[in-house]
């Protein structure tokens, strides 16, 4: 009986030792064999392929992550940013009125286009005409009606800034063009009117302009064309006005006959023909003092004109 008890105790010790040895035997790297086996199974699992499937672009992007844990962390960080309450989805075509109202409120979009706070001011020296101001209002209105990002106050202010920049660039080009024309005209006039002739002919031109346009004299000379050049620097205009001035210098008859842009010489010839026709149709009117006085004025003016033409 004592021997059986001893044998039983011996067997129990051997079994317990074997179990202890099997359970606690460490593998290389400090891991147990069971843990090592699980790790190997995890490494062999193609988690990128499981996520991407046949999507090659997605599979390529997943190569940035070293393991599944890093990918999961990145996903949850991105999801947290998208749902932090600081973003409002841009309303699409199927957006509700509530969606649009939420977007407008979040971005500071006003209830009407004229309520925008335009912080951008025109550059110093730039003056906008009424037409240009209306154009800016139309641009603002179109952006507001477009909605979404287009209606954002920052975008509207940027549109104004771009308009001012383009306007300044255009004005700079116009000023350059005006300077070029002025210099070219002056150079040519000095060539055809050397010395004192230039000053004299410019005076003739100014006299003609002053007579026909009177108080609008300065406005006519400063009249600006679309390319920025001035009428007062236009070669053909100056030559024409100088010619009229020479023909009508201190001659009220010619000045009157040339009113409204008519040719003074032709106008006087036509009037003379009309007066002479009275000899056959109305002899009494033809012989009247008023008609004879006018006839004498016309003959005298034509004579002075022919004399000046001969001198030129």
Structure-token pair, residue 18: 């074997």
298, 256 in Cβ contact below 8 A? no
- List, in sequence order, every beta strand (DSSP E) within 6-125: none
CA-CA distance, 197 to 205, in Å (whole number)?
12
Question: Among the listed ranges 63-67, 98-102, 112-116, 226-230, which one has the minimum average pLDDT value?
Answer: 98-102
- As a whole-number percent, the residues of the chain with pLDDT over 90 amount to 29
Q: What is the pLDDT of residues 267-282, one digit of tens each?
A: 778 888 898 998 889 9
Average of pLDDT values for 188-217? 87
User: HSE on the CB side for 200, CA within 13 Å?
Assistant: 9
CA-CA distance, 247 to 268, in Å (whole number)?
13
Nearest to 190 by CA among 238, 154, 225: 238
Greater pLDDT, 230 or 31: 230
Phi, psi angle pair for 266, to nearest 5° = -70, -35
- List, in sequence order, every beta strand (DSSP E) within the chain: none
Greater pLDDT, 264 or 205: 205
In degrees to the nearest 10, what's the CA dihedral of 105, 106, 112, 114? Answer: 130
């Amino acid at each position: 009986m004592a021997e059986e008890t001893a044998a039983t105790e011996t067997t129990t010790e051997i079994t317990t030792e074997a179990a202890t040895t099997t359970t606690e035997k460490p593998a290389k790297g400090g891991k147990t064999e069971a843990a090592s086996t699980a790790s190997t199974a995890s490494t062999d699992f193609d988690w990128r392929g499981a996520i991407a499937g046949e999507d090659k672009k997605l599979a390529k992007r997943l190569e940035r992550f070293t393991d599944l844990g890093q990918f999961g962390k990145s996903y949850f960080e991105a999801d947290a940013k998208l749902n932090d309450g600081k973003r409002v989805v841009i309303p699409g075509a199927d957006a509700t009125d509530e969606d649009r109202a939420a977007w407008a409120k979040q971005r500071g979009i006003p209830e009407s286009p004229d309520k925008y706070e335009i912080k951008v001011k025109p550059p110093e020296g730039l003056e906008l005409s009424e037409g240009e101001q209306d154009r800016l209002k139309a641009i603002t209105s179109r952006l507001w009606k477009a909605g979404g990002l287009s209606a954002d106050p920052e975008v509207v202010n940027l549109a104004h800034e771009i308009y001012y920049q383009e306007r300044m660039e255009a004005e700079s080009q116009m000023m350059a063009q005006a300077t070029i024309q002025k210099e070219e005209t002056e150079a040519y006039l000095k060539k055809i009117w050397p010395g004192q002739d230039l000053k004299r002919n410019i005076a003739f031109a100014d006299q003609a302009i002053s007579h026909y346009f009177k108080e609008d004299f300065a406005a006519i000379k400063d009249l600006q064309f679309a390319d920025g050049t001035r009428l007062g620097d236009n070669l053909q205009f100056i030559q024409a006005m100088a010619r009229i001035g020479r023909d009508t210098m201190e001659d009220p008859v010619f000045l009157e006959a040339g009113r409204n842009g008519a040719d003074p010489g032709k106008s006087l010839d036509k009037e003379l023909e009309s007066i002479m026709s009275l000899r056959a149709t109305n002899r009494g009117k033809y012989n009247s003092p008023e008609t004879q006085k006018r006839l004498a004025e016309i003959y005298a003016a034509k004579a002075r004109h022919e004399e000046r033409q001969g001198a030129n």
